[in-house]
């Protein structure tokens, strides 16, 4: 009998997907007033402040000294590298293509989880990942982009690899820390590495339109702080490879949100790709283990 993912993990994954999917539209709005580096830094400066407020009130414990290198690497990969590379990559890669490349992350996560966490997927699990990957590629093509070798392509591929490494390191540390703790430590470390973008930030904030600044505030409080905590909680309850398979739904949700928020209507290929992504995720989570 197939063991299903805990209902609490399902709720956490759903929260994460909705917030991360909304980030694509939020980033597009924020880039109207901010450069990619300043956007990444300000977003996680806000997220760090939100989490710091909670940490002080709740008297959150500090991490053990032995875990600091792993936590620093986790934050560097999942926060600094991922968001900086993605923001700069999207300067030359279309949103549809970027979404497709980033969503190589579930496949990379499944491979890394097999190598480093001892997790296993059956043939049906890998088939489901392949179907979802095909669906995401249709969504990318339906977005009018295509996968040309734009200068930012390798940067976005780097971001997918970085976030996969973040998931694996986080999964290993969740045995010793609560989801909120490990997320807070990781975001603080990742934000600290982004201090290189501090020069010029105040000037950019003063010159940016209010709509762009509000978009950054939303990105920092919700797709960053809340969603990363929810994702860590989901990983504490479910295998990394299975939880990551749900990320294939992100382009589908992002397309729907952009349709409502920005008026970007999806084409037939995007809709067909969304159906394929749903089928693939269903395969992974019903017959994959």
Q: 185: how many CB neighbours lie within 10 A of its CB?
A: 24
Question: Which tokens sit at 23?
Answer: 């980030």
pLDDT at residue 147 in the model: 47
Distance from C-alpha of 181 to C-alpha of 177, rounded to nearest angstrom:
6
**Does 213 or 247 have the greater pLDDT score?**
213
Best CA proximity match to 173, nearest among 74, 51, 61, 47:
74
216 pLDDT above the threshold of 50: yes
For 58, counting Cβ atoms within 10 Å of its Cβ (0-12 exposed, 13-18 middle, 19+ buried), the class is: exposed
Distance from C-alpha of 37 to C-alpha of 45, rounded to nearest angstrom:
12
- Region 197-226: mean pLDDT is 96
Residue 173 counted as domain residue: yes
197 pLDDT above the threshold of 70: yes
Q: What is the pLDDT of residues 126-182, one digit of tens each?
A: 787 777 777 766 666 655 444 444 567 678 778 888 988 998 899 889 989 999 999
pLDDT at residue 21 in the model: 86
Q: 4: how many CB neighbours lie within 10 A of its CB?
A: 13
Residue 1 counted as domain residue: no
Residue 238 counted as domain residue: yes
The number of domains in the chain is: 1
Contact yes or no for 30/219 (Cβ under 8 A): yes
Best CA proximity match to 194, nearest among 41, 77, 85:
41
- Region 178-197: mean pLDDT is 96
Mean pLDDT (the chain, rounded): 82
Residue 98 counted as domain residue: yes
Residue 208 counted as domain residue: yes
Residue 43 counted as domain residue: yes
Residue 2 counted as domain residue: no
25 pLDDT above the threshold of 90: no
Share of the chain above pLDDT 70, in %: 76
Residue 33 counted as domain residue: yes
* Global pTM value: 0.79
- Region 78-95: mean pLDDT is 84
Domain coverage including residue 221: 7-287
């Amino acid at each position: 009998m197939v063991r299903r993912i805990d209902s609490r993990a399902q709720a956490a994954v759903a929260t994460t997907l909705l917030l991360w999917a909304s980030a694509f539209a939020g980033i597009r709005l924020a880039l109207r007033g901010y450069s990619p580096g300043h956007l990444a830094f300000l977003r996680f400066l806000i997220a760090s402040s939100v989490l710091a407020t909670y940490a002080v009130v709740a008297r959150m414990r500090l991490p053990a000294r032995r875990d600091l290198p792993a936590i620093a690497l986790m934050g560097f990969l999942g926060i600094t590298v991922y968001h900086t590379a993605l923001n700069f990559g999207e300067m030359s890669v279309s949103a549809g293509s970027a979404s497709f490349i980033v969503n190589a992350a579930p496949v990379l996560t499944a491979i890394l989880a097999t190598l480093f966490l001892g997790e296993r997927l059956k043939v049906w699990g890998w088939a489901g990942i392949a179907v979802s990957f095909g669906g995401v590629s249709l969504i990318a093509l339906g977005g009018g982009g295509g996968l040309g070798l734009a200068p930012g392509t390798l940067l976005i591929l780097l971001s997918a690899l970085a976030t996969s490494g973040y998931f694996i390191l986080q999964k290993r540390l969740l045995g010793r820390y609560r989801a909120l703790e490990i997320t807070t430590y990781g975001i603080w470390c990742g934000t600290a590495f982004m201090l290189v973008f501090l020069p010029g930030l105040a000037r950019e904030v003063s010159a940016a339109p209010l709509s762009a600044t509000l978009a950054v505030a939303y990105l920092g409080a919700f797709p960053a702080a809340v969603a990363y905590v929810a994702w860590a909680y989901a990983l504490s309850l479910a295998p990394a490879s299975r939880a990551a398979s749900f990320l294939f739904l992100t382009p589908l949700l992002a397309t729907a949100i952009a349709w409502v928020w920005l008026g970007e209507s999806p084409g037939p290929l995007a809709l067909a790709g969304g159906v394929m992504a749903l089928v693939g995720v269903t395969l992974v989570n019903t017959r994959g283990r």
